[in-house]
Structures are given as C-alpha cells and as structure tokens.
Structure 1
C-alpha cells in the first residue's frame, strides 16, 4: 500500500497511528519529525519508529504517505514547507479536528506544486495528550472521516480509505464544510460545555470536590484536554462553533425559564429529550451505520 510513512508531530494520535501501522504491518518504514529534540530522542528509542529526523524536508522526501499530526493552525504552513520536496505520487493527509480552512489552504498550496492532499479526521483521542499515552488500540473501532474535494484524485482517496480501514477504523466521506458543521456539534461543543462547567466551579474549595460523585468527574473529564490545542481548534472553526453554541444556549434558556416559571412539565420534557438522545448515542454503532 504505502512503502513508507512519515508522522509529522508524534503526539497522542501520531504515535498511536505509527504503533498501529507497525502492528498491522502496513509499512516497513516509519519516519518521524518532531520540533523538540527531547521528543526526537525518545522516538529513536521506540520500536514503532524506524527513522527520526531533525530536518522536516528529510523526513518527507522519500515517503509515500505523510500525516500531519500537529495543531490545526500549523498545518497549512507545514504544507507550504514540504510541498516542493515531496516525491512524485506522494499523498499527504492530516488528523485535524477542523477541515475547511486546511483543505482551502491545501488547494492554494497545490496550485504551485504537485501536492496531493486529502483531509482525514480519525475520531479517536483522549483528554490525556502526548505520546506517553499513545496506544496501538486507540484507533480500533473508531470512526474516521475523510474530506475529499472536487480536486481529489479517486485513486488516492481509495488508498487513504483502505489505509484507515486496515487500522480497523470505520471510514466515511463528506465535504470539509459538512465535516466542520457536524464536528462543531458533536465534538467541539461538548468540549466547550465540559470546560465551562469546570470553570464555573473554580471558586469552590478542594473539600467541596472531595464530596463530588462520579457525575462531576464524568461530565468534566474532557475539560482536561490541552487548552492551547483547543484554542487553535475553536479559532479555526468559529462560524460552526458559534452556531452550535446558539443551539445550546436556546435549550439552556428554555430549561432556565421552565424552572423560573415553575413549568415543571416542560422541565421534564427537556430532561426526557436528553435521556432519549443519550440512549441513541449509546446505541449508535459506526460499523452498522
């Protein structure tokens, strides 16, 4: 499929992908580029990494598939840097949580080069970042959304779909715009809500938290994610995120009003809607979609 793979940015997702690729024997060679020297040294000692590079150009020049696994606001500049140095037929993809701005940037870069770029979003992760939390099983059973455009070559798209499928992911395709609208609702908004809930408790004492049950820990778990990473995600998807916040505000205001007016039938209706949707989420299975 791909004789060689380059991971640009071996964090949680990048390292997990490399582990899974080697476990599934999808390639013989995994190149890694990391900006940080200490991270490069650590990668050189790990079995899933065959070549570590301080030079970004050296990391990509001989690879068949290059995956950008860095924060979303760094991806277009990286594409600009590597595009002139890719070998003929090489495919570039990413793992970012925002697609429209990246795909538009890639199209601009491609106008002056032979860049072949298709967006990917493996919907796998954890609030615990870094390669120290990476696992070859992280991707197993998770969805992966590909975002081809009108310029996408069908052969490259089929190769990329096959790549993610062989890592035991369930692939689907949609436009970059549809992706960003969907992910704002089902990923970005949940992180915002979890972070706001946690932030609203900032003035509470440690003794108060000792009395908290599992509900608080469950609902604030993803607030533990990297704030800098999430700032870049939300900044790259502002329009869709704001639309999602407006929908949430409407439901929250309706609930608040039902309590203020003692309309407890309506309150019960909202709570039942939440229960019903939660059951739908639990019952959803990407492999049977």
Structure 2
C-alpha cells in the first residue's frame, strides 16, 4: 500500500509528539512542508531550529488554512476546544486528525462539526511518547513500532480514513482500528490505570513520612520502573482523567479486586499467593513476546 502524501501538513502543538511528527514526516518525505502552529513563540522558534517544521504561526486559523493534513497534538481538553475553529478554517478536502489519548468525546465533537461544515475528521491515537515533554525531546523514530489507534464510526469518511491509516503506517506504527468507545476502554486498562497506579504509589510512599533524601538513596529499578510515568504532565493527565473518567472507574474495580486478593492472601498466609505470583509472571512474560 502506497503511503499517503500530503503536500502541506499543519501540526497544532509542537511539543514532543508534534515535533516528532514533523521530523518523521519531513525525513520520510510524506509532505513538502510542515507548518508548526502554537501559542508559544519560543517553542515554535525551537521547533524551527531543530528542523521539526518549515514555518510557524501563532494564528490557529491562518496556520491551518492551507494544510492538506492537520494534526492536533495538544492536550485532549484543548483539542476539544479548538476543533470547531480548526475545522472551520480547514480548506475543502483537508483532513483533520489528532493524537489525543481519549477518543469518544473528541471523535463525537469532531465528526458532528465536520458533518455540519462539510469537512473531514478522523480520530487517531499513537501510543508513543514519554514522561518528558517539549519539542527538544522530539525524535523522528518516536512512532516506530508503537501502537496507533485509528477510530471509525458510521460517519467516518472512508477515503479520509484510508489516508490517515496510510499516513500512520508510513511512520511504521502498528494499527488498531476500532470504535472510539472501544479505544477508551482499552487505553483505560493499559495506559490510564497504570498511570494512576504509579501516582498512587508515589503518594503512598510520600505519605509515610520517611526522609526524601533517604528514599532517593535507596530506591532501586523496581520503584523507578513502576513509577517513571508518574513524572508526566499534571495538566495533560488531569484532562485525560476528566474525559475518560467512566472507563477508568470501570477498570479500577477490577484493579481494586485484584489488590484485595493479593494482600488478603499475604495477610492470611494463603498458599494461593504463590499461584497468583506465578500467574502474573507468566502473563507478563507473554506480553513481552510479540
């Protein structure tokens, strides 16, 4: 399948993901020009210096007006806020997509607005990135071998959907095609819940009142690996939790039940604990073999 080529790509929000998209699209020649759109002039200037974009704009409507593909790379709350303006400014035939890690609300708003205006919207979510933020951490291979969701509903334009899929395939992502609601259930399980567990673990350790310098000196890889993601952006995760709170609550019930079983077996010196540990080890090993 031939990769999609878009003469002009506009990236709204040139941080880690947006900057990496610009670098990847330029390196792979998926476009002739990348326009970086944002509110911070210093961040845009840094993106120019790093050659993640070819030109920049702090005017949202002006920045996206001539683009053939518009990718919204801001926090999910901001994506919802700017979708109407972006779709209104997009030229006929241009495709608008996003990288938001929640999909139901974004896709619903995007497709309703796109249908009303005669424009095109397809929801995306590449599961790439790190706890770091900012265009200075952008890299062209960020998306390689990552999972990328592309959502489809009865309102999704089939040609736009195909073009967005081919774009992400050109970045060497592994596509998962599903409805927005299915996406939100799955990422609550494998992304949003783990982040909140990491946050809770850090808070639990802090609440015990031990000296922070002592804790820093004795932690090993287990604690570091388990809590690394808790260092992520508070603003971004507040938005994610607000948009996907229902699914996070649903998977939390399963987590609470599992925690109760494990710690009850410890408290009661239940022989079943060994089976739980073995099962977890085997399941985790299976997840690494892909």
TM-score range, shorter chain: over 0.9
1:38 is matched with 42
Q: CA deviation at 1:204?
A: 2.5
In structure 2, the residue corresponding to 1:144 is in which secondary structure?
strand
Picking from 61, 72, 77, the partner of 2:76 is 72
What secondary structure does 2:255 align onto? helix
Aligned twin of 1:3 = 7
**Which portions of structure 1, spanning 4 or more consecutive aligned residues, are displaced by more than 3 angstroms?**
none
8 Å Cα contact 1:31/1:53 also seen in 2: yes
Find out whether 1:188 has 2:192 as its counterpart.
yes
- TM-score, reference length from structure 2: 0.95
Question: Contact (CA 8 Å) 2:198, 2:226: kept in 1 or not?
Answer: yes
Q: Which residue of 2 aligns with 1:223?
A: 230
**1:187-223 deviations in whole A, cap 9, x for unaligned?**
1011111111111111322113211221111111111
SS in 2 for 1:138: coil
Specify the SS of the correspondent of 1:79: helix
Q: In the alignment, which residue of structure 2 is the partner of 1:274?
A: 280
What TM-score, normalized to structure 1?
Answer: 0.95
**Matched residue SS, 1:32:** strand
Q: Distance in 2 between matches of 1:111 and 1:156?
A: 13
Task: Please give the per-residue CA displacement for 1:133-185, whole angstroms capped at 9, x wherever unaligned.
Answer: 11111111111110011111111111111111111111120000000000000
* Residue 128 of structure 2 corresponds to residue 124 of structure 1: yes
Q: Which runs of 5+ in 1 are unaligned?
A: 285-289
2: CA distance, partners of 1:131 / 1:44 = 10
CA displacement at 1:41 relative to structure 2: 2.3
- Aligned alpha-carbon RMSD (Å): 1.1
1:11-64 deviation digits (Å, cap 9, x = unpaired): 111101110111101111101111112212222323231110021111111001
Asked if 2 retains the 8 angstrom alpha-carbon contact of 1:4 and 1:30, the reply is yes
Decide whether the 8 Å contact of 1:93 with 1:120 is kept in 2. Answer: yes
